[in-house]
Amino acid sequence: MRFLQLLTLLSLLLLVIVPPTSATFYTNVSSIPPSHLLNATRSAWETFSKLAGCHVGDKAEGLSKLKQYFRRFGYISSSVADNNFTDDFDDVLKSAITTYQNNFNLKSTGKLDAPTLQQIVKPRCGNPDIISDMNAGKKLRTVARYSFFPGKPKWPKKNRELTYAFVPRNNLTEEVKNVFARAFTRWADVTPLNFTRSESVVGADIVIGFFAGEHGDGEPFDGPMGTLAHASSPPTGMFHLDGEEDWLISGEDVNRRKILPVTSVVDLESVAVHEIGHLLGLGHSSVEDAIMYPAIAGGDRKVELAKDDIEGIQRLYGDGSSGRRSETSGGDEFGGGLVFRLSLIVTCMLLVCW
């Protein structure tokens, strides 16, 4: 317990020394500048598109960067150092692509075909999908549905009333804060959990902040598109969003999956609902309709929990109805499921820094 208190204290110190950024928020679709509506090529990942058609045996500039991408999201073992990556299309890359294709329900070709590249360049959550088992010889696992963090952490039973607070220096408007309130409600509706906004980050269970680039936890943001946000597993409660994205905060068109045909503006509530899933203990899912699916295209809006999300969260907390709470104990972790390293990284970074 003392360790958790220390971690919370260090997290607050992080907020003090790392300046948050001021993100851009658009209150409705019509306020988005025309230059952003058809601009889907602002992401650095778009350069991967030129690798189309590459397969084993090829050598092409950019393949080493693609290997870093796959390493970041767990498809290449983290024990392989970035500087060992070459521009050779080797068997390691082929294996990573094949696993990725399986996770994203793509045809398993092991090649950089068009559908695979289209998926790779989509903006997505910064949390990894899979982690390679550090024990030699074990293979990467493929995700099929909801999953949990290793050890299946969740908020303790005595803590069903969770508080959240915003980093003060973001100076968020009530309109922006209300987007998060709506997102929390979606999870509260299907669990025994309740979420209350706190005006102070001190003592809050969950702290929400927009940051740009490197912000002290070893998981730097990358500017427009690319990674959008990341969050820690329970009970750390750190929820970071990329302050260099353009965010849409409109609650309109709730039932419309696609807001705009192509845009580099990201729907904030969609990302918030996803990251709260992590904060409560869920990992990524390969079910495309699920909130916990890792990617979302610019202009997409997905805020309704899918059956897969609800089944996953209720395995952790029950359904919230009195008398039939069905919290599970122990753990089927879905064959190992997804493994997240973020909170560990945060912990290590903070302990090293102080």
**What count of other Cβ atoms lies within 10 Å of the Cβ of residue 216?**
18
**How much is the CA Rg of the chain, to the nearest whole Å?**
20
Please identify which residue in 125, 266, 276, 310 interacts with Zn ion, judged by CB under 5 A.
125
CA distances from 54 to 58, 119, 224 (A): 6, 16, 26
By CB under 5 A, the residues from 315 to 354 that bind Zn ion are none
Q: Is 292 annotated as a binding residue?
A: yes
Residue 212 touching Zn ion (CB under 5 A): no
Residue 129 touching Zn ion (CB under 5 A): no
Q: What is the DSSP string of 299-337?
A: TB---SPPHHHHHHHHHHH--S-TT------S---STT-
Please identify which residue in 127, 232, 236, 314 interacts with Zn ion, judged by CB under 5 A.
127
The structure tokens listed for 294 are: 């890792």
Region from 70-78, 92-100, 216-224, 330-338 binding Zn ion, contact rule CB under 5 A: 216-224
Q: What count of Cα atoms within 13 Å lies in the side-chain half-sphere of residue 69? A: 25
Q: What is the DSSP string of 99-140?
A: HHHHHTT----SS--HHHHHHHTS-B-SS-S----SSTTPPP
Helix (H, G, I), strand (E, B) or coil at 166: strand
Q: Is 55 annotated as a binding residue?
A: no
Q: Is 223 annotated as a binding residue?
A: yes
CB of 240 to Zn ion, least distance (A): 3
Distance CA 336, CA 277 (A): 18
Please identify which residue in 129, 205, 217, 308 interacts with Zn ion, judged by CB under 5 A.
217
Q: Is 245 annotated as a binding residue?
A: yes
Indicate the residue type of 33.
P
CB of 156 to Zn ion, least distance (A): 23
Q: Is 125 annotated as a binding residue?
A: yes
Q: What is the DSSP string of 5-16?
A: HHHHHHHHHHHH
Rank residues 219 and 269 by Cβ distance to Zn ion and give the closer one.
219
Region from 139-147, 215-223, 242-250, 317-325 binding Zn ion, contact rule CB under 5 A: 215-223
**What count of other Cβ atoms lies within 10 Å of the Cβ of residue 41?**
13
Count of residues near Zn ion by CB under 5 A? 5
User: Which amino acids are annotated catalytic?
Assistant: 275
Rank residues 40 and 228 by Cβ distance to Zn ion and give the closer one.
228
The structure tokens listed for 327 are: 């919290």
Give residue 323's region: left, alpha or beta (phi > 0; psi -120 to 50): left
Region from 11-19, 47-55, 100-108, 117-125 binding Zn ion, contact rule CB under 5 A: 117-125
Distance CA 71, CA 69 (A): 5
Residue 240 touching Zn ion (CB under 5 A): yes
Cα–Cα nearest to 239, from 309, 291, 184, 286? 184
Rank residues 127 and 347 by Cβ distance to Zn ion and give the closer one.
127
Give the nearest residue (CB) to Zn ion.
Answer: 125
Region from 187-195, 219-227, 244-252, 322-330 binding Zn ion, contact rule CB under 5 A: 219-227
Rank residues 136 and 352 by Cβ distance to Zn ion and give the closer one.
352
The DSSP element (H or E) to which 240 belongs, if any, is: strand 238-242
CB of 230 to Zn ion, least distance (A): 6
Annotated binding site for Ca(2+): which residue ranges? 205, 222-223, 242, 245
Binding residues: 125, 205, 215, 217, 222-223, 230, 240, 242, 245, 274, 278, 284, 292
Residues that bind Zn ion (CB under 5 A): 125, 127, 217, 219, 240
